[in-house]
A and B are shown apart, each in its own frame.
Chain A
Amino acid sequence: MRNDKLIINRRQLIRGAAGGAALSVPILHFVREAYAEQYCNMPTGKEVVLGFNVPQTGAYADEGADELRAFKLAVKHLNGEGDGGMLNTFKPSALKGNGVLGKKVAFVTGDTQTKSDAARASAKRMIEKDKAIMISGGSSSGVAIAVQSLCQDMGVIFMAGLTHSNDTTGKDKRKHGFRHFFNTEMTGAALAPVLAKEYGTDRKAYHLTADYTWGWSQEGSIKKYTEALGWKTVKAVRTPLGAGDFSQYLTPVLNSGADVLVLNHYGKDMVNSLTQAVQFGMRDKQVNGKQFQIVVPLFSRLMAQGAGEAIKGIYGSTNWNWQMTDEASKAFVKSFGKEYGFPPSQAAQTCYVQTILYANACEMAGTFAPAGVIKALEGFKFDGLGNGPTEYRAADHQCFKDVLVVKGKEKPASKYDLLEVVDITPRSKVEYEAKMLGGDLGPVNMKPC
């Protein structure tokens, strides 16, 4: 009769342990992969796909085209082609110049048309059909907020392109969304002291504001910081997007008693309203014993080109300018200029940087899984990407860095030489508490899409 008791001698125990260990390797590997497949669009082949969602048609198409150029250049550099651009100056860098995590970087593009619904549809297509693991781009805060929310819901990372509204990393912030570009709060904090220094503290301002999230945000920030320095706001008038002829909004300014006009407009609206304000003789006018002034808080070189002569001497702020003299900016301008024959815009720079930062975060995390990438980006401190020392604040996924205050150049040396940097406001002066702008990042979404 056999003894039913389990009797294990020392030899059997060692043999069993060795067998168990040998078996556990593939099992653990299987379990890890099985877990990894739980996130959206986990790359399984030799390539990783990024989705670049930019305005290819509509009013911001030229800006979108520049963003796309920058994305293509970033992909080229990540795959170890070209001169490497800012990959040579970026630190600390985990990038190896062989793609990301050994996979070649491929990309697909979409057209936002600068419309939230079209942008969401295009991003959804890139995620569902093209298996994009990260979405980037956009030239409008309305679009950025809409796509950021979609990326959160679908479980992919959104690296915002040009979006300036506080809401993107304020009340509408999301765990999967990250913004390198600055915001209206920073513009207000940086620009107001320069305005007060140049035009004095006893000023009466009249705001014309684009009637959507970015315009409201910009108006609020400029009012807050200029009023704190003694300025008074006579009136703030909302103008419809794409109004074209602003004469009916400009003429009341002439009789309002205001001596400063703040144009919270961007793109085509800015070009039109500024040009028309100058035509109405506002820059030649004396009000309250002072020279009348016009301020355009957010500048873009592409828009300055559109405004032509009217931009000369006008103050504003910008995220980056191609004439910066740091080594990183010079490397980027050289690389971009060689590729395309002209310097990059601020939109191009932020899109290039965002692609590099995403790739680097994947390398740091050792995975494409959103949880790992988010953890690597949160609180990441870096330098050598054109804006000096920068930090991705963990609390709201907003980059904090120095802000440039610029002025339209009086005597441009070339058609690209349009802005003159008048002040570099240090990060410490534009930083604010994350809770001030409200919102909630929400959870990491690791669900499959």
Chain B
Amino acid sequence: MDAFLLQFLNGLDKGGAYALIALGLTLAFGTLGIVNFAHGALFMLGAFVAVSVNKLLTLEKVVLDPTRKTPWGEPVEIRTPYVETWLGDFGRFLVDWSVPVSIIAVIPVMLLIGVVMERGLIRHFYRRPHADQILVTFGLAIVLQEIVKHFFGANPIPQSAPAMFAGSADVGALFGLPPGTLVYPWWRLIYFLFAALVIAIVFAFLQFTTWGMVVRAGMRDRETVGLLGINIRRRFTTVFGIAAIVAGLAGAMYTPILPPDYHMGMEFLVLSFVVVVVGGMGSLPGAVLAGFLLGVLQSFSSMTEVKAILPGIDQIIIYLIAVIVLLTRPRGLLGRKGVMED
């Protein structure tokens, strides 16, 4: 029972990341018709915005101590973070909460990156074949990765969750299990809740605002909306920015779970594309449903009992499901009729 619940929770937090990335991918595909292979890089950039915020908050004043020498004969450096010197306890709080605080920076930075990407490059490929779009966005992803590697190095840079969320929650107690039987990291639970919140906000925005209604209309019939005199292009640019923000938020909040490195986006990108295909190309609810579904299935497939029957199943389960869905229901679980079926 506890092993089952643990894997279920694992699936939820992993599914949260898949769902957030897939949501952005689907937004871009559904509105702009673009297959964006640089979307994983946006996830990575969001993570590195969090890293940058942490680095800024931990900028240190360096004083040389001439009385002490390093083994190579130079004076020892004494480092004190500026923010702690200036703000005292509040400064220490900011450093401790640097990951959640980074959200304030992630939103404008990712919006800017998204808009510049769409205006500067992506829009020139709207009318080009999907193969061209994939090539150019894949190339862009590599460029972005190499830029990040140049400035931050190739090794993962660990980020800490706030101290109050550093440990594990006794989830088992909620189900009447003895204390300590089922513990789960606090931050992973928070990540799942955060993912659910972001998804809810995006859906509410699209569902309950006029702006969102126009975007949804544009997703269904771009030409008709344009004929009504609405500047759909500008709205779609903003949609691309929103997709970038969602990916960036997903990346920033994921940093305490997975120390970010320049390559982290690629690892998620491939899986997220499978999620989009399974959910249905262009279907937002489909992306979310498939994200959580595949996350949970992937976790269950790695249970010892499952692997004893089907060795290696954890490595192929996602692709196996994608193959089954494509064979039996090419439009995906919640895809629109006709999409990917011709």
Select which of B154, B160, B298 is within 8 A of A57 by beta carbon.
Answer: B154
A281 with B167: CB separation less than 8 A: yes
Q: Which residues of A contact B7 (CB under 8 A)?
A: 248, 251
Chain B residues near A245: list those with CB within 8 A: 14, 257-258
Is A285 in contact with B180, judged by CB distance below 8 angstroms? yes
**A62 with B74, Cβ < 8 A, contacts A240-B315, A308-B160 known:** no
**Complex contact A248–B156 (CB within 8 A):** no
At the interface, yes or no: B314 with Cβ under 8 Å from chain A? yes
On chain A, the residues within 8 Å of B231 by CB distance are none
B158 close to A271 (CB less than 8 A): yes
Contact check, B156 vs A254: say whether CB atoms are below 8 A apart.
no
Q: Which of B29-37, B127-135, B219-227, B299-307 contacts the other chain? A: B299-307
Residue A242 lies at the interface, judged by CB distance under 8 Å to chain B: yes
Interface centre among A271, A280, A281, A414 (most CB of B within 10 A): A281
Most buried by B among A235, A242, A254: A254
Q: A272-B258, A302-B155, A308-B160 are in contact. Are A334 and B73 (CB under 8 A)?
A: yes
Q: Does B160 contact A244, Cβ atoms closer than 8 Å?
A: no
How many Å lie between the Cα of A336 and that of B256 in the bound state? 33
Q: Which residue of B lies closest to A333 (CB)?
A: B71
Query: How far, in angstroms, from A279 to B254 measured CA to CA in the complex?
Result: 13
Expressed in whole angstroms, the minimum distance between the Cβ of B166 and any Cβ of chain A is 8
Distance A335 CA – B149 CA, assembled complex (angstroms): 28
- Binary interface profile of A, 319-338, with partner B (CB < 8 Å = 1, else 0)? 00010000000100111111
Distance from A169 Cβ to chain B, minimum over Cβ atoms (Å): 28
Interface string of B260-301 (1 = CB under 8 A from A): 010110010000000000000000000000000000001100
The answer on a CB contact under 8 Å between A307 and B72 is no
Q: Given the complex, which residues of B lie within 8 Å of A337, measured CB to CB?
A: 70-74
Give a binary string over B180-202; 1 marks a CB under 8 Å from any A CB, 0 the rest.
10011101100000000000000
Q: B237 to chain A: which residues have CB within 8 Å?
A: none
B154–A306 contact, CB under 8 A? no
Whether a CB of chain A sits under 8 angstroms from the CB of B168 is: yes
Out of A59, A244, A338, name the residue touching B73 (CB < 8 Å): A338
Q: What count of chain A residues pass the 8 Å CB interface test?
A: 49
Q: Contact at A306–B6, with CB atoms within 8 Å?
A: no
User: What residues of A have a CB within 8 angstroms of the CB of B258 in the complex?
Assistant: 244-245, 272, 276
Closest to A279 in B: B185
Check if A338 sits within 8 Å of B72, measured CB to CB. Answer: yes
Pair A59/B302 contact, Cβ less than 8 Å: no
Closest approach, in angstroms, between the C-beta of B102 and any C-beta of chain A?
A: 17
**Contact status A271-B156, CB under 8 Å:** yes
**CB-CB < 8 A to A249: which residues of B?**
302
Residues in B with CB closer than 8 Å to A280 are 168, 183-185
CB-CB < 8 A to B188: which residues of A? 247, 279
Asked whether any CB of chain B lies closer than 8 Å to the CB of A309, the reply is: yes
B259 and A279: CB pair below 8 A? no
| In the complex, B173 has a CB within 8 A of chain A | no
Quick one: closest A residue to B187, CB to CB?
Answer: A279
Known A248-B299, A252-B303: A336·B72 in contact at CB below 8 Å: yes
Is A72 located at the chain interface by the 8 A CB criterion?
A: no
Check B10–A251 contact: CB distance below 8 A. Answer: yes
A256, B298: Cα distance in complex, Å: 20
Q: For the complex, give the distance between the alpha carbons of A252 and B2 in Å.
A: 10
> Which residues from chain A contact B13 at a C-beta distance below 8 Å?
247
| A367 on the B face (CB < 8 A) | no
B72 near A284 with CB under 8 A, answer no
Contact pick for A306, options B10, B158, B298, B315, CB 8 Å = B158
Instruction: Give bound CA distance, A309 to B7, whole Å.
Output: 26
**B interface footprint on A262-273 (CB within 8 Å = 1, 0 otherwise):** 000000100110
- Judging by beta carbons under 8 Å apart, are B259 and A247 in contact? no
B168 proximity list for chain A (CB < 8 A): 279-281, 284
Q: B6, A254: Cβ atoms under 8 Å? A: yes
Give which listed residue, B167, B180, B314, contacts A248 with CB less than 8 A.
B314
Does B153 lie at the interface of the complex (its beta carbon under 8 Å from any beta carbon of A)? yes
Residues of A144-182 at the interface with B, using a CB-CB cut-off of 8 Å, are none
| A334-B71 contact given A59-B263, A247-B10, A248-B302, CB 8 Å threshold | yes
Q: Are B183 and A281 in contact (CB under 8 A)?
A: yes
| B191 CB → nearest A CB, Å | 11
Please give the distance in Å from B44's CB to the nearest CB on chain A. 12
Residues from chain A with a CB closer than 8 A to the CB of B72 are: 333-338, 343
Which chain B residues lie closer than 8 Å to A255 at the CB level?
2-3, 6
Do B259 and A271 have beta carbons less than 8 Å apart?
yes
Residue on B with the closest CB to A235?
B304
- Encode B5-43 as 1/0 by CB contact (under 8 A) with A: 011001001100000000000000000000000000000
Residues of B contacting A251 with CB < 8 Å?
3, 6-7, 10, 299
Q: Answer yes or no: A275 CB below 8 A from chain B CBs.
A: yes
Q: Report the separation of the CA atoms of residues A242 and B315 in the bound assembly, to the nearest whole angstrom.
A: 13
Per-position binary interface string of chain A over residues 385-413, scored 1 when its CB falls under 8 Å from any chain B CB and 0 otherwise: 00000000000000000000000000000
Question: Complex Cα distance A279/B188, Å?
Answer: 9
Interface membership of B136, Cβ < 8 A: no
Binding site for A on B (CB under 8 A): 2-3, 6-7, 10, 13-14, 70-74, 76, 149, 153-158, 160, 166-168, 180, 183-185, 187-188, 256-259, 261, 263-264, 267, 298-299, 302-304, 314-315
Give me the interface of A with B, judged by CB distance under 8 Å.
Answer: 57-62, 235, 240, 242, 244-245, 247-249, 251-252, 254-256, 268, 271-272, 275-276, 279-281, 284-286, 302-303, 305-310, 322, 330, 333-338, 341, 343, 414
4 A-B pairs closest in CB distance: A337-B72, A61-B154, A281-B168, A248-B302
Between A and B, 13 residue pairs with Cβ closer than 8 Å are: A57-B154, A62-B154, A268-B155, A275-B158, A275-B259, A279-B257, A280-B183, A280-B185, A285-B183, A303-B155, A307-B158, A333-B71, A334-B73
